[in-house]
C-alpha cells in the first residue's frame, strides 16, 4: 500500500517511516529536508504543509496519510507555531481530500487536553486546551484538531491520536534531541546530581509509531485515541538510565511545592539567559502530573505499550552504539 508521512525527517516521523517500510508499504516521505537514515526504498518529496496545491500533488496515489508536522514550543505566543499547527493541519487535510486519500491519521498531542483543569485525570472526554493562559503549543494543538474536524465534516475520513510524553530510541537528533531524551542522556552520563519531584506518562516513540498504524487500520472516523505509556517518576527514570552505564543517578529530588514557589522568580531570570528550563510551560506537566487513561486505544485498537524500563535501557544502548555517551 502507498502511504505518506509528513514530517518524516523528525523524531517520530523517522521511527514511523522505518516501521511502515518494515510492514511492506511504499512510503512517501514529505518534509523540508531528506534524512540519511531513511531506508533506500523511501521516496522523498520536499513539501510545505501550508501549500495545498503542492501537498495535493505529493499525495497523488496515496491511500493512507500520516500527518506529523508540528512546531513544539514553550512560548505563550508564537505566530509561526500557531499557523503551522492549525492552518497546516487544515491545508494538509484538504489536500488529502482533493487527492483522494482514503484515510488520514493526525498526530496531535496530549497537550491538546487541559492538564491544569482535569481533576488529576485525562481521557478522551476531558476539557481541552482553550484557555488563553496556556502555552501556544497546547492551544494550537487543540485548534488544529478543530480545523481537521471541519474537513472531516466535508467528507474526509480521519482519525486523531494524542501521544503523551514521547521518548526512547531511535533519536537521530537532526534538530537536537527531544527534551526527555536529552535529560536521560545527561543522567546516563552521570551529569544530573539532583532532579525535580514529579512524573508524567511517558511513551516509547516506537509504540507511538505502531499506535498510529493501528489507528489507520482500526480507528473510528473523527475519534481521538490517547496513546499512553506508563506513569513514570522523572527521578526514577534518570536512575535507571544512570544505572545502565554504571553511574549514579540523582542524589535527591527537589519537592514540587518548592519549585512552584520559586518559579515566579526563577522563570524571568532563566529567560534572561535564554533558557526555558525553569518556565511554567516546561514544568507544567511535571507539576500537574495527571493520570492519562489509555483504555480506549487499548480496547479499540489493540494498542499495548512496552515497559518503561525496557525503553530507557534501549535508549541508553542506542546512545552507546551511536557514540553519544
Name the 3-class secondary structure at 281.
helix
**Residue 161 to residues 113, 190, 206, 213, 223, Cα–Cα distance (Å):** 12, 35, 14, 10, 8
Confirm if 217 and 225 have CB atoms less than 8 A apart: no
Give the up-direction half-sphere exposure of residue 320: CA atoms within 13 A in the CB hemisphere: 12
153 vs 260: CA distance, rounded Å:
42
How many CB atoms are closer than 10 A to CB 41? 9
The question of whether 137 is a catalytic residue gets the answer yes
Query: 48: closest CA among 7, 106, 98?
Result: 7
Confirm if 325 and 189 have CB atoms less than 8 A apart: yes
Catalytic residue among 11, 66, 116, 137: 137
188 vs 244: CA distance, rounded Å:
7
Catalytic residues: 137
Amino acid at each position: 500500500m502507498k502511504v505518506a508521512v509528513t514530517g518524516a525527517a523528525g523524531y517520530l516521523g523517522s521511527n514511523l517511516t522505518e516501521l511502515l517500510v518494515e510492514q511492506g508499504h511504499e512510503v512517501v516521505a514529505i518534509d523540508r529536508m531528506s534524512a540519511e537514515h531513511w531506508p533506500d526504498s523511501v521516496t522523498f518529496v520536499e513539501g510545505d504543509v501550508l501549500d495545498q496545491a503542492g501537498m495535493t500533488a505529493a499525495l497523488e496515489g496515496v491511500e493512507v496519510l500520516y500527518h506529523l508536522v508540528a512546531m513544539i514550543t514553550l512560548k505563550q505566543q508564537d505566530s509561526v507555531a500557531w499557523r503551522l499547527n492549525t492552518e497546516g493541519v487544515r491545508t494538509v487535510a484538504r489536500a488529502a481530500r482533493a487527492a483522494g486519500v482514503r484515510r488520514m491519521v493526525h498526530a496531535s498531542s496530549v497537550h491538546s487536553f487541559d492538564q491544569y483543569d482535569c481533576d488529576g485525570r485525562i481521557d478522551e472526554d476531558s476539557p481541552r486546551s482553550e484557555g488563553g493562559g496556556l502555552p501556544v503549543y497546547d492551544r494550537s494543538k487543540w485548534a488544529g484538531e478543530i480545523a481537521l474536524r471541519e474537513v472531516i465534516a466535508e467528507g474526509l475520513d480521519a482519525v486523531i491520536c494524542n501521544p503523551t510524553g514521547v521518548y526512547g530510541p531511535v533519536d537521530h537528533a537532526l534538530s537536537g534531541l527531544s527534551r526527555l531524551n536529552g535529560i536521560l542522556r545527561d543522567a546516563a552520563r552521570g551529569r544530573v546530581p539532583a532532579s525535580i519531584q514529579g512524573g508524567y506518562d511517558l511513551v516509547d516513540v516506537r509504540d507511538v509509531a505502531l499506535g498510529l498504524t493501528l489507528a489507520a487500520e482500526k480507528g473510528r472516523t473523527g475519534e481521538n485515541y490517547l496513546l499512553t505509556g506508563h506513569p513514570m517518576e522523572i527521578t526514577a527514570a534518570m536512575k535507571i538510565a544512570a544505572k545502565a552505564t554504571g553511574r549514579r543517578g540523582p542524589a535527591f529530588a527537589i519537592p514540587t511545592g518548592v519549585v512552584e514557589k520559586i518559579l515566579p522568580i526563577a522563570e524571568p531570570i532563566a529567560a534572561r539567559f535564554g533558557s526555558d528550563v525553569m518556565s511554567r510551560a516546561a514544568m507544567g506537566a511535571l507539576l500537574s502530573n495527571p493520570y492519562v487513561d489509555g483504555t480506549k486505544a487499548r480496547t479499540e485498537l489493540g494498542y499495548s505499550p512496552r515497559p518503561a524500563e525496557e525503553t530507557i535501557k534501549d535508549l541508553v544502548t542506542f546512545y552507546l552504539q551511536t557514540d553519544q555517551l
